[in-house]
Structure 1
Amino acid sequence: MAQVVQRRPGAQEPEAQRPTRRDLPWPIRFVNTTVGMKWVMALSGIMLIGFIVFHMIGNWKMFLGNQAINHYGEFLRELLYPILPRTVFLWIMRIGLIGAFLVHILAAYRLVLLNKKARPVNYQSKRNYIAANYANRTMAVSGTIVLAYLLFHLADLTWGVSGVAGKGWQRGMPYENFVASMSRPPVAIFYIIANLLLAVHLYHGAWSMFQSLGVNSPKYNVARRYFAIGLAVLIGVGNSIMPLAAMLNIVK
């Protein structure tokens, strides 16, 4: 016979048992940890670094003339055509990159919150930045500027937003649009400064992502340092020479 439990008048009903953190799937529990967030930042950063490098190499075709880079732009729009409709695969890649970018930003923001929670009181004395270099200390600033640069870059050369893009912007004409935009010295200088800050950001990101993935040994640290420096120089110089060449009428 079932036992009837009597409650006193005015007693509250017991609350439904809420799932604890242990009840969540392992991937979610892992991502909610500091180590998990660093893994997310590292993996999304690898995706973004790959895109930046290949995007830069493709854009170097502008030095071969307008036909070379315009043909390259059309090639990207026809990837996997006719297996998929025109531009579909390009948009799949764009959505994947946007997702990686958003995940990277959210993971960085989450890490900042976790760090503040771990140390709610600021340092009482001036910090000694022997281990933390300039790139490390300015990651938030350089990342914010790079985000603003990305939005401006899309409005300027991809979307052709009126008042932002160069005069006479034409869809599907990347060479002419780039030259028209970079012919404006303030815009070209902004691109150069933003890409130099991107290089600073990538330097620290390329150095720290190996540590986040557990590859941290004195045996490899020298190679890690050279890789981070080489990537930063490649991106900083490689992306800056294009607006500089257009501003100086080397490319016209």
Structure 2
Amino acid sequence: MVSTVPLIDVVTVSTSTPAKGAAARKPRRPRIPGVLLKFVMAVSGAFLLLYLVLHMIGNLKIFFGGAELDGYARWLREILEPALPYEGMLWIVRVVLTVSVLAHIWSATVLALRARRARPIRYAGGNHKLPGSYAARTMRWGGVIIVLFVVYHLLDLTTGTLNPNGEHLQVYANVVADFAPSRWYVTLFYVLAVVAVGLHVRHGLWSALQTLGVSNGRRQRPLQIVSTVFAVLLTVGFLAVPIAVTFGVV
């Protein structure tokens, strides 16, 4: 029997169905290029690294006596006065650091989530010890320790809330009270956090050099050594203060 359905109806049905499906799909948001995310992470990490170096140098003034360290703390608040108000430069640094931290965490998180989505199935046999996996895991748990330490450090030696002495601009007395032998657990936590910072810096510096295209060809091995030595020196510089106080050198 010949179909009695008009040809025009068949054509209309067959052409209208895909149109409805296309209209139902929502337009995708523009995807931020991975290269841009890596660049943001590298630049924000550079700002944080510069701060760490300057902060370490300032901390080491404790070995020149209390007057030197306390005077340095006052000088930080008086930079560019009267062009800037009291603590003006210090607040500019704090804002830049906050933006750098947020940008660093955001870019790292987005890249990590993309990497996980790109490889949703675990490797056969549960083998996770592939090149780069150890460093990636170290960066993750190290980042958590660093964030917790920064929060504690601000409440301890910046606001003085958790410090046994906690007096404003009495930096030397605050540090000595903080790392007293009876507070060995604080020193231990500080050591753990600084080691995590060192591992983070070593891997982060090497990754940043790769992102910026510096580590190519024969320069890879020397730059790996430079990254490791830099991270070790930074770690030793930060650990010198709490260990010296705990063991009575300061």
1:129 corresponds to: 129
Shift of 1:44: 0.6
1:160 is the counterpart of 2:157: no
Shift of 1:107: 0.8
Q: Residues 135 and 203 of structure 1 are in contact (CA less than 8 Å); yes or no, is this contact kept in structure 2? A: no
1:76 corresponds to: 76
Q: Residues 142 and 200 of structure 2 are in contact (CA less than 8 Å); yes or no, is this contact kept in structure 1? A: yes
CA distance in 1, matches of 2:215, 2:69: 40
More helix by share: 2
Shift of 1:20: 6.6
2:222 corresponds to: 223
Q: Out of 175, 179, 182, which is 2:176 matched to?
A: 179
Bigger Rg, structure 1 or 2: 2
1:101 is the counterpart of 2:86: no
Shift of 1:189: 1.3
Given the superposition, is the C-alpha separation of residues 144 and 178 from structure 1 closer, same or farther in structure 2, using an over 3 Å criterion? same
Residue deviations 1:211-252, cap 9 Å, x none?
A: 11222312211221122111110111111111001111111x
CA distance in 2, matches of 1:58, 1:126: 46
Matched letter for residue 202 of structure 1: V
CA distance in 2, matches of 1:62, 1:69: 5
Residue deviations 1:14-56, cap 9 Å, x none?
A: x8xx8875xx7xxxx6xx1222111111111111111101110
CA distance in 1, matches of 2:232, 2:133: 17
Counting aligned pairs with the same residue, the percent is 36
1:192 is the counterpart of 2:191: yes
Structure 2, unmatched stretches of 5+, are: 1-19
Structure 1, unmatched stretches of 5+, are: 1-11
CA distance in 2, matches of 1:233, 1:169: 30
Given the superposition, is the C-alpha separation of residues 116 and 40 from structure 1 closer, same or farther in structure 2, using an over 3 Å criterion? same
Q: Residues 73 and 171 of structure 2 are in contact (CA less than 8 Å); yes or no, is this contact kept in structure 1? A: yes
CA distance in 2, matches of 1:55, 1:123: 42
| TM-score in terms of structure 1 length | 0.84
Matched letter for residue 148 of structure 2: A
1:205 corresponds to: 204
Give RMSD over aligned pairs. Answer: 2.3
2:87 corresponds to: 87
Given the superposition, is the C-alpha separation of residues 120 and 135 from structure 1 closer, same or farther in structure 2, using an over 3 Å criterion? closer
2:10 corresponds to: none
Matched letter for residue 212 of structure 2: L
Matched letter for residue 217 of structure 1: N
- Which segment is superposed worse, 173-182 or 209-218? 209-218
| TM-score in terms of structure 2 length | 0.85
Residue deviations 1:175-194, cap 9 Å, x none?
A: 11011011111101111111
2:240 corresponds to: 241
Q: Residues 207 and 224 of structure 1 are in contact (CA less than 8 Å); yes or no, is this contact kept in structure 2? A: yes
Q: Residues 34 and 114 of structure 1 are in contact (CA less than 8 Å); yes or no, is this contact kept in structure 2? A: no
- Provide the secondary structure at the position in 1 that maps to 2:249: coil
Give runs of ≥4 in structure 1 deviating > 6 Å.
Answer: none
1:250 is the counterpart of 2:249: yes
CA distance in 2, matches of 1:135, 1:242: 28
Give aligned pairs, total: 228
Matched letter for residue 210 of structure 2: Q
Matched letter for residue 224 of structure 2: R
CA distance in 1, matches of 2:202, 2:41: 14
Q: Residues 66 and 175 of structure 1 are in contact (CA less than 8 Å); yes or no, is this contact kept in structure 2? A: yes
- Provide the secondary structure at the position in 2 that maps to 1:125: helix
Matched letter for residue 232 of structure 1: A
